[in-house]
Amino acid sequence: MLLLLLGIIVLHVAVLVLLFVSTIVSQWLVNSGYTADLWQNCTSGSVFHCLTSSTNGECALAIRAAAAPRFYSPL
């Protein structure tokens, strides 16, 4: 029974890692010389330059606020 519980925990951790990595890697908007995703907007002209998507980090704060109840709730 303990082995089954450990297997389920490892499976959940692996799924969370895969979801986190896929979120980081994905780019939502890709044009010639310009890419944008959840975290930053990049231009690749003569110099590759990236800016954050929001100046005060509103996107990251909103995602953390939405995800926090999942980690603190018993179910």
Q: Is pLDDT larger for residue 72 or for residue 15?
A: 15
C-beta of residue 54 within 8 angstroms of C-beta of residue 41: no
How many angstroms separate the CA atoms of 71 and 73, rounded? 6
Query: 3-state class of 47 per DSSP?
Result: coil
Instruction: Give the contacts of 27 (CB within 8 A, at least 6 positions apart).
Output: 35, 36, 37
Extents of the domains making up the chain: 1-65
Confidence of residue 70 (pLDDT cuts 50, 70, 90): low
Most trustworthy range by pLDDT among 15-19, 25-29, 55-59: 15-19
12, two tokens: 């959940």
Global confidence as pTM:
0.40
Taking residues 20-37, report their average pLDDT.
Answer: 71
Look at the block and give the residue holding tokens 């995703």: 37
